[in-house]
A and B are shown apart, each in its own frame.
Chain A
Amino acid sequence: MPDTPHRPHPAAPLTEQPHSLAAPLTPAAPHPAEAGHAPAATHTATRRHVVQGLGTGAAALALGSVATAPAAQAATNPPAHPASPTQTDTPRFFSPAEFALLSAACERIFPADAQGPGAIALGVPHFIDGQMDTPWGRGELWYMQGPHRPDAPANLGYQLPYSPQQIYKVGLAGVIAWVQQTHQAAFETLAPEVQDSILTALEQNATQFDALPAATFFEQLRSDTIEGAFADPLHGGNRHMAGWLMMGFPGARGDYMDWVDRYDTPYPYGPVSIAGETADHG
């Protein structure tokens, strides 16, 4: 008797609540409060407010059309093909200057090399762009109430007032200005070795952008780059599962009954994605 009460069952529903406060018993009919996304109007207004508060109102104007997290949309209505090709050109959250810096920095963190494609070919910058318009990107999965104690010991965890969106807005603006000041150029136009030295300086917390330590920005960027390289392609990165092919991860196969005790034999099957894409090489 698995917990699938939405299936026709002679004895169901077994326990109707006696009053109107009860939430519905069947998971097939979720409570409205469980939908996970605010109505589009509220949601857009909230984000615009956040972005304007950071002094980048122009970027906000380009954002109004995104009402639902791409991930959630894809999960309920899987595309026949990975969504990435249609998203390649126009970032939704980042300005062109921000996106150019973001892309170049991701590529140095996860470069194209003998192991396989780099962050840009994997769609990582677009993945991060898409993640900005999710509950996580808006800071709805973090406790954001004050007072904030940014000087608390580091081992007690993140204490800044910034959501992920704000970390990127403040961090990218800061790096653009800092690199302009120190190198009189845009990051993405610099030689890879110079880009690496700048990223190393960020990693080692050589400066601060408003209240945002450079290292906090770098760690967010590094973490999100890894996620974009290896998350299921439905989130916009890991295009053609090339990240999984590099790692040797079979993706959403989810069944190793026939392989669990074939010890020390290379697993022969390529990855499969949630949308059903397959890759037979690697």
Chain B
Amino acid sequence: MAEKTLPPVDVVVVGSGWAGSIMAKEMCEAGLSVVMLERGKRRSTARDGAYPSSLDELEGAVRYKLFQNPAQTTVTVRNRSDQEAVPYRRLAAFLPGAGVGGAGLHWTGVHFRAPPQDLRLRSHIIERYGRKFIPEGMNLQDYGVTYTELEPFFDKAEKVFGTSGEAYTVNGKPTGKGNVFAPDRSDDFPLPPLKDVYTAHLFRHAATEAGYHPYAMPAANASQPYTNPYGAQMGPCNFCGYCSDYACYMYAKASPNVNIMPALRRHETFTLRSNAHVLKVLLDSTGKKATGVVYQDAEGNHITQPAGLVILAAFQFHNVHLMLLSGIGKAYDPASNTGTVGRNFTYQNITNSTVWMPPTRNTDQFIGSAGGVAIDDFNSDNFDHGPLGFIGGSPLWVNQAGVKPIAGAKAATPGAPRWGSAWKKAAIDTYRHSFTINAQGSNMAYRDVYLDLDPTWRTSYGQPMLRMTFDWKDNDIRMNRYVISQLANVVKALGAQDAHYGMREPGKPFDVRDYQTTHLCGGAVMGDDPKTSALNRYLQSWDVPNVFVVGANAFPQGMGYNPTGLVAALAYWSAHHIRTQWLKGNGGPLVAL
């Protein structure tokens, strides 16, 4: 192992997913030299999404070809702080990406804007329900940025991603379509919505009959051929059903690799290094200024890359891990509820329900896209929480991104046989005639749910692992159970033969063995108060002002929607303020302490 120091650059960007690619592009446009460090491999659609070899369920979704290998780095997990956390040894509950494009290469493509009230949830809840409505132990917070401020950046991200969808209002004018709960937009979606697959069509009609307000889910899957503002081209989605876990061979699903990298590579000041695992951010003797990063390359050498500006844009928990390892900000202490790095760690509160149609009806679950049909009647604060006594909500949707047969056969029907002829028949019938409705709910932040460094286990790089302390809480369990209880109205209207309602069970702890979602959030959140947020409203570290930390780590609590749309908008928001203010100043804080 050798040590080496490279010539300095203006900006080092850690991570090559959506956040890193957006930040790198913006910094290159500002004329800066940018080195992007990616711990995983080179990846491209041409190689990792080739047809037909990439349509391989075993490689893609079972062996996790595009995902982080826990043998290199993983986390430890426990439910309560009086337990010993143990390593997350086999991927299951959540699936972080690795390699160029990050999780942006293998995501599904569901692309939402954040509900305006979610961005100022603490203020909103106090205004509508009073301060006492917030339960003891819940660290409910505002983002410190409003929907109106973010709107131009949501719009920019949709245009870069080639997002398909239906607007409700554009500049205040109703279109006659779309989600009645959606905030106003300055422009329509760049592409019309994807077609409803059969199961989404069934859900749309049943939800209407039940008195709810269905809409076509916004999806970063191109419904038509598209060229984005960077000149990157997308093909039309053909509903092949290999969205989540795969690189899209049709170039129809937005990814950093398809939508940004080709333009980024044209900047002569841009350099991408793969197999470069960043170990820590280096600080000067004051601890208030970053001087660069040190990373380990594929040969095990430790390379120092000096830089004037450090942008952490790795996956949510890797950003938090790097801050803890580097001593950026004060580590969170749950006993005193002080410190900010590791605080407000959240997940997403998703449960899945299965509906069986009569055996004469084929649900064709293998057809799929990131589109689908949703209702927001029970999302966010779109319904009166007063009599219900919980905070948060959940959209309900059919988001059929293609069910392949291994996943279909492994899907458990509670109480049914798990092997043998009876199981085999049930598995085949379920695959052919059922479909899934997801309740993807918010997850609030709690004082005793957090991230810190593990005292026992180390990554393959010899560093302490990140430790997750996470469990489901009463508020979130009750929210999920309420929303699922409302789903029965839709199922009745479907003419379904049978239904299994998946819902949180009180007393059943968070279980890492079942895939839920990779929408992990928080741990280094944005806000207006340095006592409760690690980052200011521009995603700038309060403590080290030449470090910006971009990603879902910035969300103060988990929302019902998928995080990527908000991550992308926050990245463009942050980049805009770096370009227009920070670069023109003295390198100090954008918000005075």
Contacts and interface: CB of A to CB of B under 8 A. Distances in A.
Given A3-B257, A110-B424, A141 B69 contact: yes
A2 B258 contact: yes
A256 B428 contact: no
A157 B90 contact: yes
Contact of A25 (B53, B87, B249, B272): B272
Given A5-B44, A196-B420, A264-B362, A231 B265 contact: no
B275 A31 contact: yes
B266 interface: yes
B64 A141 contact: yes
Interface residues of B, number: 108
A6 B512 CA distance: 40
A149 B299 CA distance: 32
Nearest to A6: B46
Contacts of B55: 232, 251-252, 254, 274
Contacts of B367: 256, 259-260
Interface residues of A, number: 92
B466 to A, nearest CB: 13
Contacts of B457: 145, 147
Contact of B70 (A143, A153, A255, A263): A143
A164 to B, nearest CB: 10
B89 A11 contact: no
A18 interface: yes
B298 A33 contact: yes
A157 B298 contact: no
B59 A2 contact: no
B419 A249 contact: no
A113 B421 contact: yes
B10 interface: no
Nearest to A135: B63
B7 A18 contact: yes
Contacts of A247: 405, 408-409, 427-428, 431-432
Interface string A226-249: 110111101100000001101111
Contact of B71 (A143, A260, A274): A143
Contacts of B57: 230-232
Contacts of A2: 45-46, 232-233, 235, 251, 258, 262
Interface of A: 1-6, 11-15, 17-19, 21-25, 27-28, 30-31, 33-34, 71, 75, 78, 108-111, 113-115, 134, 136, 139-145, 147, 149, 152-159, 196, 199, 203, 222-223, 225-227, 229-232, 234-235, 243-244, 246-257, 259-261, 263-267, 272, 274
27 contacts: A1-B233, A2-B233, A2-B262, A6-B46, A15-B264, A23-B274, A23-B275, A30-B47, A31-B42, A31-B274, A31-B275, A108-B419, A115-B421, A115-B425, A115-B428, A141-B90, A152-B86, A153-B79, A156-B79, A159-B86, A226-B409, A256-B240, A256-B366, A256-B367, A259-B364, A263-B201, A266-B362
